[in-house]
Chains A and B, each alone.
Chain A
Amino acid sequence: MAEEMTNPTPAETPAAPKAASAAKPAATAAKPAAAKPAGHAAPKGPPLATLTPELLQLQQQFGESVITPAPYVGVLVNDLSKLRDVMTYVRDQLGFDMLANATAVDYIKEGYIEVVYHPQRSKGGQPITLKVRVPRGKDPVAPTEVAVPSLTPVYAGAEFQEREIYDMYGVRFEGHPDLRRILTWEGFYGWPLRKDWREAYYEGDTKPFDSRWPGGHHELAEERVPWADNVNYPPGFDPLNFTANPDAGLYDSMAAGVPGLDAKSNGHALQPEGIGAAVPVLDRNRNTIADEEELQTDQIIVNMGPQHPSTHGVLRMVVKLDGETVTDLKLVLGYLHRNHEKIGERNTWLHNIPYTDRLDYICGLANELGYVITVEKMMGIKPTERAEYLRVIMAELTRIQSHFWAIGFLLNDLGAFYTPALYFITERDLILDLFESVTGSRLMCNYMRFGGVSRDFTEDQIMHARQLAFDRIPRKIDELEQLLTDNEIIKARTIGVGYLPAERSINYSLTGPCLRAAGVPYDIRRVDPYSIYDRFDFDIPVFYGADVYDRYRVRVAEMRQSLRIVQQALNQLDQTKPGDIQAGKKAYNHRVPAGEAYGRVETPKGELGFYLVSDGGQNPYRYHVRSSSFINLNSLKEMTVGHKVADAVVILGSLDIVLGEVDR
């Protein structure tokens, strides 16, 4: 297998970690006539990628001037105008029907921003990498002059991801239906993830900062900065003569049919005097209605959230209602945008592990696993046997407790206020007890390390885990099914609600239990096995209803399969050496060889990917999180439109989002 794969199996990687993740230089000879891109022809540049058969086919189709090998991994599409054709070909002819990930990297020295796409096949296998480059432009505040064609017509799942790239890097996308800022707000100054953009508390490009403990004296960030707070204003800014409009453009496409909402008013004017003005007056002396127009009622726009008990956190849904029926829906995100990626690029590699806990804060251990295996692939190290087993046990218990939580709160959204959730939180607390006794923390475990884990299980903890996995949790899952699965009310409220067929789900890049409830057996543990999942006997539960009920049933079935994995792992744990939990020496300052990798794991919410770029230093050059909650939300509109507003809440609950991961 060629080294084009973003994650070579550890057995293939050479022992010397320096050259590990970079593409094998010798193997690049297989591509003799590689026309190097003009901007990247330096003699001592990074090694170019070897092309996999799919990419060679792509190159033959579009010509060697359009498709050239990129540094390290993937291909460059040199002609922006052909991008959409290339991607359509990739989707239809090569079968990469799902855009797993789209992000960008700012190569400030070279003067361009690289947009990176990772399409993958819903049938399984490795994703491929395609890249395009746009010049950064002169003006640091304006978006790029050159626009990238939007991929939304090819992959519906690109919509939010392209908006994120626009928000963070200022890359314009031509043909995007709704290109506005997504995580920050309209009017925000600058493009935060560009390398030359500095936050108010800027101390240095990379940690550890010298300023943090100068001469044994610590100063507050507030004392250091000119505004004495975490703010920065452009010179000449006048807050007294200025109209803020953070929602600019939000209501533009929703204005049709809503009286009082003027599309040109930028959403500022939901003027009360306009509401009701367009109500047709029925002639009371007439028995018949002349035409359908008369029967049409006013549509209204309702903002749900960001403070709303059923939006699972600080999510804001803007719904357009005809009576009680949702006719349009838009999401406003970013209320929990905590700048993971900017902070992550300042942090050292090790610093980022506890931050990943806080992405999807219900299942921190699963996020850690995704991050450490991606970095391990880049470093070419392999964790010890025992550490692998401990990781799997922890990750699968995390899946169980996350699904308990998801089901409990789905029932909450259905109106069974709190009682089912209380049942499941009790069970979840028992699993958290184990996490706490092993790692020291209930939620933010900070347990995994590069090449191992931080602590071993003691005999007592193994007994605790066995008691949970063999006795308590199986019993409780039976009880859960008995209480809920055949419940008439649940069936009436959920069957057929939130339907999204398989092909649309794939096109929307939906992953996780929601995709498997639509009949697509896509689970990364099976289609692209990582860690030691290939050793266990387990099934991938698939249901075909593609509705809320089947999403619930997939989760219940998955809990049982996770239990099977935990049981097997606990039985095999005896064969490993106690205490052998860290490969190599413990280190604080890891150096990751220059290169890039896209690693992914199956978290309870779906595919969690990490796109990491290293320049060989102590810090990631680019740290991107492909979050399943965020991308799954793309499809919420299509699932919801046509349903009642009460169902919108349930459909959102069935997606099982966590805002920490949505907004990052």
Chain B
Amino acid sequence: MAEQKNAPEAFENDPRVPEELRNNVFITSLDKLYNWGRKRSMWPMLFGLACCAIEMIATAASRHDLARFGWELMRASPRQADLMIVSGTVTKKMIPQIVRLYNQMPEPRYVIAMGACATAGGPFKEGYNVVSGVDKFIPVDVYITGCPPRPEALLHSFIKLQEKIEKQSLRNVPWYQKGEEDVVPVPVLGPDLVDMRRAQEIKEKAAQAASAQQQSAA
């Protein structure tokens, strides 16, 4: 930012810049311009899971007024959203839908894990139907503590995300790289939640367990 501030002064004495442009031109990097535009117009997905969603709605309402930051346009469709706020407990029954929604979001896409449950399972971690944090399946950019986090904490996470976006560069952001698109395989609800990325491992371990059981029976 420093060079932007000094730019007009620098131009004033620069004979290469025409007179009429001296106070009207800013020189910046493409990254900065691109990120400046992106970070102030994030469209979050209208997507609530549990208690944290109530605080998310409170954040969007008049008192905390998310619109001040340019983030208020909540879209119900993942195709129009850049940001998924995972606001609440991620259950095994819900995670296939969350992964599918994440895959449907166009890149660049970001994820905020709001509250203890989305971060690591929270107070319900030991529950049999609870996923220990949404980051077991989808990449998370910002985690917020709290059960539920206050609206101010959610705003803080937005600002942290803005800082992260500022630091990204067009040269190495993943969505402009060559190669396969980064699609997370949708987990399957079998006897328990099956992460298809670990299918081989699950098969081997379950086979071992079966043979151990047979041996002990014999």
Which of A200, A235, A361, A422 makes the CB contact (< 8 A) with B210?
A: A235
Q: Which residue of B lies closest to A207 (CB)?
A: B126
Cβ A189 vs Cβ B192 within 8 A: yes
Q: Which residue of A lies closest to B46 (CB)?
A: A309
- In whole angstroms, how far apart are the Cα atoms of A15 and B55 in the complex? 44
Residues B90-122 near A (CB distance < 8 A): 91, 93-94, 97, 101, 121
Cβ A239 vs Cβ B199 within 8 A: yes
Cβ B202 vs Cβ A237 within 8 A: yes
Which of A199, A232, A240, A314 makes the CB contact (< 8 A) with B203?
A: A240
Q: Which residue of B lies closest to A190 (CB)?
A: B191
A56 CB to nearest B CB, Å: 42
Cβ A336 vs Cβ B88 within 8 A: yes
A365 in contact (CB, < 8 A): no
Cβ A342 vs Cβ B191 within 8 A: no
- In whole angstroms, how far apart are the Cα atoms of A444 and B148 in the complex? 8
Report if A342-B127 is in contact (Cβ < 8 Å); known contacts: A238-B203, A659-B50: yes
Report if A346-B126 is in contact (Cβ < 8 Å); known contacts: A442-B55, A443-B51, A660-B51: yes
Q: Which residue of A lies closest to B129 (CB)?
A: A337
Cβ B189 vs Cβ A443 within 8 A: no
Cβ B54 vs Cβ A362 within 8 A: yes
In the complex, chain A residues whose CB is within 8 Å of the CB of B206 = 233-238
B136 in contact (CB, < 8 A): yes
B157 in contact (CB, < 8 A): no
Instruction: Flag the segment in A223-231, A518-526, A614-622 that touches B.
Output: A223-231
B49 in contact (CB, < 8 A): yes
B205 CB to nearest A CB, Å: 7
Cβ A229 vs Cβ B62 within 8 A: no
- In whole angstroms, how far apart are the Cα atoms of A187 and B212 in the complex? 24
Cβ A230 vs Cβ B132 within 8 A: yes
In the complex, chain B residues whose CB is within 8 Å of the CB of A355 = 123
Residues A286-307 near B (CB distance < 8 A): 306-307
- In whole angstroms, how far apart are the Cα atoms of A234 and B147 in the complex? 34
Report if A240-B199 is in contact (Cβ < 8 Å); known contacts: A338-B127, A443-B55: yes
B48 in contact (CB, < 8 A): yes
A161 CB to nearest B CB, Å: 19
Q: Which residue of B lies closest to A201 (CB)?
A: B126
In the complex, chain A residues whose CB is within 8 Å of the CB of B94 = 306, 314, 335-336
A625 CB to nearest B CB, Å: 14
In the complex, chain A residues whose CB is within 8 Å of the CB of B189 = 185, 187-188, 244, 246
- In whole angstroms, how far apart are the Cα atoms of A63 and B91 in the complex? 48
Cβ B192 vs Cβ A338 within 8 A: no
A426 in contact (CB, < 8 A): yes
A242 in contact (CB, < 8 A): yes
Q: Which residue of A lies closest to B126 (CB)?
A: A201
Cβ A236 vs Cβ B55 within 8 A: no
In the complex, chain A residues whose CB is within 8 Å of the CB of B97 = 306-307, 335
- In whole angstroms, how far apart are the Cα atoms of A394 and B125 in the complex? 29
- In whole angstroms, how far apart are the Cα atoms of A306 and B148 in the complex? 21
Q: Which residue of A lies closest to B61 (CB)?
A: A425
Cβ A230 vs Cβ B210 within 8 A: no
Cβ B55 vs Cβ A421 within 8 A: no
- In whole angstroms, how far apart are the Cα atoms of A442 and B154 in the complex? 14
Report if A189-B125 is in contact (Cβ < 8 Å); known contacts: A313-B49, A336-B91, A361-B50: no
| Proximity bits, B158-198, A CB within 8 Å = 1, else 0 | 00000000000000000000000000000011111111100
Residues A303-337 near B (CB distance < 8 A): 306-309, 313-314, 334-337
DSSP class of A's interface residues: helix, strand, loop or mixed? Answer: loop
A196 in contact (CB, < 8 A): no
In the complex, chain A residues whose CB is within 8 Å of the CB of B57 = 421, 425
A192 in contact (CB, < 8 A): yes
- In whole angstroms, how far apart are the Cα atoms of A234 and B123 in the complex? 26
Residues B133-171 near A (CB distance < 8 A): 136, 147-148, 150
A308 CB to nearest B CB, Å: 8
In the complex, chain B residues whose CB is within 8 Å of the CB of A334 = 91, 93, 129
Report if A221-B58 is in contact (Cβ < 8 Å); known contacts: A338-B124, A444-B148: no
In the complex, chain A residues whose CB is within 8 Å of the CB of B193 = 231
- In whole angstroms, how far apart are the Cα atoms of A316 and B121 in the complex? 23
Which of B76, B128, B207 makes the CB contact (< 8 A) with A236?
A: B207
Cβ B203 vs Cβ A443 within 8 A: no
Report if A221-B209 is in contact (Cβ < 8 Å); known contacts: A234-B191, A358-B51: no
A79 in contact (CB, < 8 A): no
A184 in contact (CB, < 8 A): yes
Cβ A425 vs Cβ B202 within 8 A: no
In the complex, chain B residues whose CB is within 8 Å of the CB of A314 = 48-50, 94
Cβ A336 vs Cβ B89 within 8 A: yes
Cβ A239 vs Cβ B203 within 8 A: yes
A222 in contact (CB, < 8 A): yes
B43 in contact (CB, < 8 A): no
A339 in contact (CB, < 8 A): yes
| Proximity bits, A84-105, B CB within 8 Å = 1, else 0 | 0000000000000000000000
Q: Which residue of B lies closest to A234 (CB)?
A: B191
B6 in contact (CB, < 8 A): no
Q: Which residue of A lies closest to B94 (CB)?
A: A335
B53 in contact (CB, < 8 A): yes
B130 in contact (CB, < 8 A): yes
A135 in contact (CB, < 8 A): no
Report if A199-B127 is in contact (Cβ < 8 Å); known contacts: A239-B196, A336-B94, A421-B61: yes
Cβ B93 vs Cβ A337 within 8 A: yes
In the complex, chain B residues whose CB is within 8 Å of the CB of A573 = none
B47 in contact (CB, < 8 A): yes
A344 CB to nearest B CB, Å: 10
Report if A199-B63 is in contact (Cβ < 8 Å); known contacts: A239-B196, A338-B91: no
A354 in contact (CB, < 8 A): yes
A219 in contact (CB, < 8 A): no
A462 CB to nearest B CB, Å: 23
In the complex, chain A residues whose CB is within 8 Å of the CB of B29 = none
Residue contacts A-B, CB under 8 angstroms, 21 given: A188-B191, A199-B126, A199-B127, A229-B136, A230-B121, A230-B131, A234-B191, A238-B207, A240-B200, A242-B190, A314-B48, A314-B50, A334-B129, A336-B49, A336-B94, A339-B124, A339-B127, A425-B63, A443-B54, A443-B148, A444-B51
Interface residues of B (CB under 8 A from A): 46-51, 53-55, 57-58, 61-63, 76, 88-89, 91, 93-94, 97, 101, 121, 123-132, 136, 147-148, 150, 188-196, 199-200, 202-203, 205-207, 209-210, 212-213
Interface residues of A (CB under 8 A from B): 183-185, 187-189, 192, 199-201, 203, 221-222, 226-227, 229-240, 242, 244, 246, 306-309, 313-314, 334-339, 342-343, 346, 354-355, 358, 361-362, 421-422, 425-426, 429, 442-444, 659-660
Top-3 shortest CB links A-B: A339-B127, A189-B191, A236-B210
Known: A188-B189, A232-B192. 13 other contacts (CB 8 A): A199-B127, A221-B132, A231-B193, A239-B196, A314-B50, A337-B91, A338-B89, A339-B129, A343-B124, A361-B54, A421-B57, A426-B63, A443-B148
